[in-house]
Chain A
Amino acid sequence: AQTIHQWPVAEIKAVGSPLSLGCTIKGKSSPNLYWYWQATGGTLQQLFYSITVGQVESVVQLNLSASRPKDDQFILSTEKLLLSHSGFYLCACWTDQAPLFGEGTRLSVL
């Protein structure tokens, strides 16, 4: 069975500081991977997706970037956080005709 591990579970960061969020997938080779952002109590906004190592497509950038350094890893980052980056970040993997989600990372930017 596939599993998705996101790290960290939660972050509190200062405006202007850098950020790196990670996602690791186990149990599936060459997965399609996705990053989503969810404002508190809000809808899910797809940010990026990747179908293979080294390839990332941007859907909505929000001053963020993503990278796929390994087949099983998807990284979301920025060099300079904004207040508007606060929220819940979810990584997902396409598996067996539906997306499988990680437990998410809660980000608070102060």
Chain B
Amino acid sequence: TQTVSQSDAHVTVFEGDSVELRCNYSYGGSIYLSWYIQHHGRGLQFLLKYYSGNPVVQGVNGFEAEFSKSDSSFHLRKASVHWSDSAVYFCAVRPNNNRIFFGDGTQLVVKP
């Protein structure tokens, strides 16, 4: 079964800390990768994407992610988190078809 795995259901850090949210996938071939943030009760807001080129991509609000073909990963990072970064983060993978698969999400809590 092909999957998108976000290994950490919950991550808690303090404001100003760095954070990495992990995403691994099992799809082969050319794939589209993206990350989203969902604040409570809201829709999904786009953070960043990767399809080809430089494996480190920059997104909104200081987020970046790094693609690794060898690890089948697309981890999201931020150097210094703010309390407003507290939300659920979803990794998305689109293989070469019309399906888009999501991980189960990682709840990020940023403590003051």
Which residues of chain A have a CB within 8 Å of any CB of chain B?
32, 34, 43-44, 46, 49, 51, 57, 59, 90, 92, 94, 96-104, 106
Q: Sample 17 A-B pairs with CB under 8 A, ordered by A number.
A: A43-B105, A44-B44, A44-B90, A46-B100, A49-B98, A49-B99, A90-B43, A92-B100, A96-B49, A98-B49, A99-B34, A99-B92, A101-B43, A101-B44, A102-B43, A104-B42, A104-B43
Q: What residues on A are CB-neighbors of B36 within 8 Å?
A: 101
Q: What residues on A are CB-neighbors of B83 within 8 Å?
A: none
Q: What residues on A are CB-neighbors of B44 within 8 Å?
A: 44, 90, 92, 101
Report A70 CB to chain B, min CB distance, Å: 19
Instruction: Give chain B interface residues in 31-83, CB to chain A under 8 Å.
Output: 32, 34, 36, 41-46, 49, 51
* C-alpha spacing A15/B70, complex, angstroms: 49
Question: Which of A59, A96, A102, A104 lies in contact with B99, CB distance below 8 A?
Answer: A59
**What 1/0 mask marks residues of chain B from 16 to 36 whose CB sits below 8 Å from any chain A CB?**
000000000000000010101
A-B CB proximity, top 6 nearest: A98-B49, A98-B34, A103-B43, A101-B44, A44-B102, A104-B43
The CB with the most chain A CB atoms within 10 A, among B32, B41, B94, B98, is that of B98
Q: What residues on B are CB-neighbors of A34 within 8 Å?
A: 100
Find the A residue at minimum CB distance from B49: A98
Q: Are A57 and B51 in contact (CB under 8 A)?
A: no
B15 at interface, CB cutoff 8 A: no
B85 at interface, CB cutoff 8 A: no
* C-alpha spacing A57/B90, complex, angstroms: 24
Q: What residues on B are CB-neighbors of A98 within 8 Å?
A: 32, 34, 46, 49, 92
